[in-house]
Chain A
Amino acid sequence: MRTLAHSFYMTLRHFRNLMRQPLYIAFTLVQPIIWLVLFGQLFKKVVLLPGFGASAYVDFLTPGVVIMTVLFGAGWSGMGIIRDLDLGVMDRFLVSPVSRVALIAGRLIQLALIAVIQSVLIVALGMILGARFPGGARGVGLLILCAVLLAVPIGALSSAMALVARKEETVIAASNFILLPLTFLSSVFMAQNLMPGWIQAVARFNPVEWAVVAGRSALSAHMNWPLVATRIGLLVALTIITAGLATRAFRIYQRSV
């Protein structure tokens, strides 16, 4: 009960602070538009490759951009922890009776809500650009679920890393090091069966790939139920593990201060 109430207050805090940064919000909205238009034009002809599978690249790209946008948003969430550490806000909370779980949960709930908003906007934008999703509302709903289930564990990992590393530079370097490779070692931009064999092999262990494959299948005319269910299952498992790690990270942090 206390944890729930505290999580709610923390979520409120993060949302309120976010709303005070209209420029930041503007950039996060413009970014996916650029991805969709830019990559949509750049790779327009790849659908002509034999075996690509999709008839229009924008159909294929839209769920990819949803996942990528959510991934990057979540991947940088540790910076918020760094900011709280530098300001002394984190220490102030840690000497108060606030629930430790709530300190992480507040951020993750905010990430999840942002992921939902971003997904809806990008899907709408994709449709304006001519994308068609035979999977319908159910498909879009499942894609959003996948996006949320990617945002939460990535956000939890980023937070955990920030608590342990405690340095802005480390978090920036690690995020840069991880996020782009995670994107390109998946079928965000390129059909799975056209990727080199080794990338296909690596992608099987990539949560970004789980999310994008499941989301894309959910949007297609013939959803592959077992595929979607197993990938969602994997993402749920990852969410639980990483949320546990992030809460644990407080103990590591407190041992080092």
Chain B
Amino acid sequence: MILVETLNSVRHQSSSSSQPELPAIEARNLVKTYRGDVRALDRLSFRVEAGAIFGLLGPNGAGKSTTVKILTTLSRPDSGEARVAGLDVLRDAERVRHAIGCIGQKSGVDSEATGRENLTLQGRVYGLRGTELKRRVAELLERFGLDQAADRVTRTYSGGMQRRLDVAMGLVHHPSVLFMDEPTTGLDPEARADMWKEIARLAREEGITILLTTHYLEEADRLAQRLAIVDRGRVVAEGSPEELKSELRGDTIHMELAQAEDASKAHSVLSRLEELRELVIDTRTLYARADRGATTVPIALATLESAGVKVASVTVARPSLDDVYLRYAGRSFREADQGGSR
């Protein structure tokens, strides 16, 4: 008991230096079913401490966007509860809307209006007026490198510029909680790196709590202090990227078979090896874990060869979030992402 408490307090200090306070976001048992009986959320729960960058990681169709829609008052859950900035999203929707900023998956920029006009209208909607509004708009345009293009119609903006304007629009009213749904999807690598810097800066310098959804493992690994892995509408694992990865002891071994028909035979011979754990097969790729990958691979290869199974490639690596996902969701992230939209 004492041990647990100590552990918890250590964890608190490592994730945020501020004193324990109300969570900035709390979702409890959210359920949402769409027409045609598609269950998007299946008792999804998680909480986000104030000031943290929290990642919702999952393949396409896992329920991340639905979660964001509910937390931002756009959509309503069939059942379950959610609080954002201490306010109930169903009973106090209007006040929640004042407290949050949203950068949706779709842009939300009016392409027929200029950057300045977009920002100004956004500010007015939140009650900013006069010189205060003008100052805030100019400040954001400058900070996001849009001052040169401020009076151009946004139809002429590049993808990266539009995304930056999107973020600026979400910040115009100084929100305390910021939602970003797939903020870097469709951006080129350079624009993506810039966006990552900006997200990290917002949390660090302005103390904004950020919930971001992503289906890029690398993005979650880099940005999120804590993350929840979502699969089929549920949270299957939660923790810091490091915690999640360190739960997987040893090395990860991926073996790609030359022929997919050999998969079940390979699985049965390898599962007899003591050195290999958590053997999972996904079409023609075998995933397994071993305490010492380098010495286990030759044994595994010899076993496969004597069984007449040809191997196309083998890799040994430290566990990645992909492996974490595989462990909890029972299928590889890439597979789920491709077949995930339902």
**Residues on A facing B (Cβ under 8 Å):** 5-6, 9, 13, 16-17, 20-21, 84, 86-89, 91-98, 254-257
When A96-B126, A97-B97, A257-B69 are in contact, do A87 and B108 touch as well, CB less than 8 Å?
yes
Residues on A with beta carbons closer than 8 Å to the beta carbon of B117: 13, 16
A243 CB to closest chain B CB, in angstroms? 21
Q: Are B126 and A97 in contact (CB under 8 A)?
A: yes
| Assembled-state Cα–Cα distance A160/B329 (Å) | 41
B35 at the interface (CB under 8 A from A): yes
Residue from A97, A256, A257 with most neighbouring chain B CB atoms (10 Å) = A97
**Residues on B facing A (Cβ under 8 Å):** 34-35, 69, 72-76, 94, 97-98, 100, 102, 104-113, 117, 121-122, 124-127, 153, 169
B87 CB to closest chain A CB, in angstroms? 13
When A97-B97, A254-B74, A256-B35 are in contact, do A9 and B121 touch as well, CB less than 8 Å?
yes
Q: Are B98 and A257 in contact (CB under 8 A)?
A: no
| Assembled-state Cα–Cα distance A140/B191 (Å) | 57
Q: Are A255 and B76 in contact (CB under 8 A)?
A: yes
Residues on A with beta carbons closer than 8 Å to the beta carbon of B34: 256
When A13-B113, A87-B111, A257-B69 are in contact, do A95 and B74 touch as well, CB less than 8 Å?
yes
> Secondary structure of the A side of the interface?
helix
A104 CB to closest chain B CB, in angstroms? 15
| Assembled-state Cα–Cα distance A10/B73 (Å) | 21
Cβ-neighbour of A95 out of B73, B105, B106, B153 (below 8 A): B73
Residues on A with beta carbons closer than 8 Å to the beta carbon of B102: 92, 95
A256 CB to closest chain B CB, in angstroms? 7
Q: Are A92 and B126 in contact (CB under 8 A)?
A: no
| Assembled-state Cα–Cα distance A16/B116 (Å) | 13
Q: Are A9 and B104 in contact (CB under 8 A)?
A: no
| Assembled-state Cα–Cα distance A240/B88 (Å) | 33
Q: Are A95 and B72 in contact (CB under 8 A)?
A: yes
Residue on A nearest B71 in the bound complex, by CB = A95
Q: Are A97 and B98 in contact (CB under 8 A)?
A: yes
Q: Are B112 and A98 in contact (CB under 8 A)?
A: no
| Assembled-state Cα–Cα distance A254/B76 (Å) | 8
